[in-house]
Chains A and B, each alone.
Chain A
Amino acid sequence: MNRAIYLNAAAVLNVAGSECTDLLGTPCAAQPLAFDAQRQAFALPTPRLASDLFDRKIQRSVEPQGLRLLHCAARLAPALSALQLPASRIALTAAIPEVDAPSPCWDAVQAIIEQPQKQLSQLLANTPPLHALTLLNSSVMAYVAEALNCHGPMGGFCSQDNAGLDALIEACQQIGERHADAALVVSSSPNLTPALYLREPDLASEPIFGEGAAALLLASTPAPGAVHAVRIAGFARGYSTDPQRSVAVGRRVIDQVLSVEKLRVGDVEHIVGNCADGQVMKLLEAFPREIRSTRAMTGELGASGLLTEVALTLHMSCEVAATPGYTLLVSHTRAGHWGALLLASETMEKHA
């Protein structure tokens, strides 16, 4: 990257709470799902949006996953405003999982059950116009852009669990290539609906899912007045569904990101990754310390999982006792994506 990129602020929302510090608490137990008592998950009540930023109709028309995302994005408004940037220099990237069909589909199913004698056209005749927008992932991004005044480059990603990494890298590239000076990166986990579980015919390999969201603010300068700064030192990605090649791809991705700062795994202070993933653990077996993960606290958060981990890293790096060092975050999705992110925690020099 030809320009430094800093992580200025973060917001999270998950079953542990809405503060990063909540992720360091004691895990609560997953609960049975409303539609399938045999399965457990970390469900989350739908948040209420701040009425000063969002029109009230948004609360009524956006799906819960979108509302979670908007809730997190709104909490970054003060930090974004403090940067005092023109709207055209603020990028927006989004990781929107879109695991299930849009709400209108569920509404239609319900209507068919209640009035099976009616034609679909009659049942749908009174569809609220705003539901149309749930067909398009861009609608949630547009609500963020409108409320937080982001008029720079924009990009939405829906590669399921990997979408968070896609959105984060896109934001870094927009800043690194000077198309923007700051970027909001927003993400949400999928809703806990039957659709999510229809994809998981093998109960044994099914993770315990959680609902949540996370948002990050990146900028080309550290947050004004910050004592500690977290710089995005590098990122890399790869893809393979071939079990023979997968570990090699993962190794290449990790080596690539470490090479940016001429590091080896042992030089890194903290590593974040899914401890239940055998391939990740194999690649990181040389690391002498514990691999960190918030999964036990939140469940599998899909598209917002990585950003939640990044938010916690920022929080920990800004604690008074924090020492400078690197954190390596490794992501590996069940679909075959590999990703690595290197964060450098630095103490800002005080100027007279």
Chain B
Amino acid sequence: MRAREVYVSGFGLVAPMALDAATLFERICRKQSCVREHPRFKALGFNNSAAGFIDDTQWQRIAAGFGGNAALHPRQSVLAEYVARQALERAGLTPADFAHSRSGLFLGANKYCADSHDLQRLSRCMDEAGRVDLDRLLDSPAASSATFTRRVDQQTQHLADRLGIRDHISTHSDACAAGTMAIGSAYRAIERGEIDLAICGAVELMANELPYYMFNSLGALCQADLPASEQSRPFMPDRSGFVLSEGSAMVILESAEHAQRRKAAPLGRVLGYANVCEAQKMTSSSRDGSKYEECMEAAIEDAGLLRSAVQHVNTHGTSTQANDSCEALALQRLFGGCQDFMTFTANKSAIGHSLAGSGAIEAVLSLMSLRDGVLLPTLNYDPERAEYPSLKFLSEPVRQPISVVMSNSFGFGGINSSLVLGRA
């Protein structure tokens, strides 16, 4: 028994083609991919224009709900507010509850990345010697949203102000593990009694030109000649890289006492968490998966469980050769004979890889599986051709009550993190 139990009482989510968690969950259950051709990537003549991206129609809906003129704010802040509002509503909370409780905000994010329009605008404000004319840039009509005024923690700050967060705000910059680490950090802060209420997750908007080029130059992006929806193929032998995506998800965590005091209906629990640095190699893990295994084992230990208690794993499953093979080996070794009684899923098969956002999005989908007793399929997965047949990835949704799920995020640079989530 833990000193303080940590409940999940709400969540919010926006992903490509889904403005809320229920829509995304249903899409994946129906085996509908959120990955499609990105019109700007196509216009720019990229080799492969597949991406998961929040489109203009979605942005209009997101902006319409914003408390103020959304055009004057960075999109990250507008998105953060939209997702947070969903989470608060689901939890039956208002901003005043954060202002009157010992509260915290923990958000994962990567660098703000300029798109081609931003870069063109900036280039017009440079002189012959390549120096930026600050006055000219600041005087330009678009100055309020100028690229280089944006900060990686802008959405954290924005949300903290909107919610009146009292005690702890932090922005986690742990690459693809940032969302999971933000949730894990909030869990720890509640567990050790520093705060009673937290909103945590991640916001990531990197489905644009520069990240595409950067990751493509690393050979990390899928270049297969397949329809967009079929490109992300975690754990399949013919996987060839990840599909760039974006999105945001947040969860409300609170101490059991806080939840009981306000008669909140919990949606799930955070049971354990671990993060381990390996720094084996910048873009790949220890080939035998031993470091991933250590991380998962530490999270199970933190939860005070035996590994046989884990019934379902929401894998990191990026669809790159290296990540998936490391993770598969780690899962096989860690769970051994227990694998027969477990199921696995890889949400990136449907959404693509939303980097910092991925861990938070996958945590929300895991909580929904726990709540609804529905296990999500892995898209583009064919058990007949499975490379790791002992890992039971589902190719169809399955209705099956479960009590414990592990959700993994393994970031570039060897930042590994695992969350153990439980039914309410």
Asked if B153 CB lies within 8 Å of chain A CBs, one says: yes
User: What's the least CB distance linking A111 to chain B, in Å?
Assistant: 9
Asked if A198 CB lies within 8 Å of chain B CBs, one says: yes
Contact of A150 among B171, B277, B280 (CB under 8 A): B277
Chain B neighbourhood of A198, CB < 8 A? 134, 137-138, 146, 148-149
Q: Within the assembled complex, what's the spacing in Å between the Cα atoms of A170 and B181?
A: 12
Asked if B258 CB lies within 8 Å of chain A CBs, one says: no
Known: A108-B210, A113-B126. A155 touches B279 (CB 8 A): no
The A interface, classified by DSSP as helix, strand, loop or mixed, is mixed
Closest to B188 in A: A173
Q: Within the assembled complex, what's the spacing in Å between the Cα atoms of A166 and B105?
A: 13
Known: A102-B111, A194-B134. A131 touches B217 (CB 8 A): yes
Known: A105-B114, A138-B411. A99 touches B151 (CB 8 A): yes
Q: Are B130 and A113 in contact, CB atoms less than 8 angstroms apart?
A: yes
Asked if A139 CB lies within 8 Å of chain B CBs, one says: yes
B114, B192, B213, B278 interface centre (most CB from chain A within 10 Å): B213
Of B156-164, B228-236, B326-334, the one with at least 4 CB within 8 A of chain A = B156-164
Q: Are A98 and B134 in contact, CB atoms less than 8 angstroms apart?
A: no
| A contact residues, total (Cβ < 8 Å) | 77
User: What's the least CB distance linking A96 to chain B, in Å?
Assistant: 6
Q: Are B214 and A239 in contact, CB atoms less than 8 angstroms apart?
A: no
Asked if B173 CB lies within 8 Å of chain A CBs, one says: yes
Q: Are A145 and B210 in contact, CB atoms less than 8 angstroms apart?
A: no
Asked if B403 CB lies within 8 Å of chain A CBs, one says: no
User: What's the least CB distance linking B301 to chain A, in Å?
Assistant: 11
Known: A132-B214, A154-B277, A156-B174. A138 touches B188 (CB 8 A): no
Of B26-34, B116-124, B342-350, B362-370, the one with at least 4 CB within 8 A of chain A = B116-124
Asked if A47 CB lies within 8 Å of chain B CBs, one says: no
Q: Within the assembled complex, what's the spacing in Å between the Cα atoms of A128 and B214?
A: 8
Q: Within the assembled complex, what's the spacing in Å between the Cα atoms of A240 and B168?
A: 10
Closest to B280 in A: A146
Chain A neighbourhood of B120, CB < 8 A? 112
User: What's the least CB distance linking B189 to chain A, in Å?
Assistant: 9
Q: Are A112 and B415 in contact, CB atoms less than 8 angstroms apart?
A: no
Closest to A148 in B: B279
Chain B neighbourhood of A194, CB < 8 A? 132, 134, 137, 148
B46, B134, B137 interface centre (most CB from chain A within 10 Å): B134
Q: Are A101 and B151 in contact, CB atoms less than 8 angstroms apart?
A: no
Q: Are B149 and A199 in contact, CB atoms less than 8 angstroms apart?
A: yes
Known: A35-B131, A133-B412, A154-B415. A138 touches B151 (CB 8 A): no
Mask, A170-206, CB within 8 Å of B = 1, is: 1001000100000000000000011101110100000
Q: Are A141 and B44 in contact, CB atoms less than 8 angstroms apart?
A: no
Chain B neighbourhood of A136, CB < 8 A? 110-111, 173, 175, 355, 411-413
User: What's the least CB distance linking B46 to chain A, in Å?
Assistant: 6
A-B pairs, top 3 by smallest CB distance, nearest first, are A142-B413, A145-B279, A132-B214
Interface residues of B (CB under 8 A from A): 44-46, 109-114, 116, 118-120, 122-123, 126, 130-132, 134, 137-138, 146-153, 156-157, 160-161, 164-175, 177-178, 181, 185, 188, 192, 206, 209-211, 213-215, 217-220, 274-280, 282-283, 291, 294, 355, 411-415
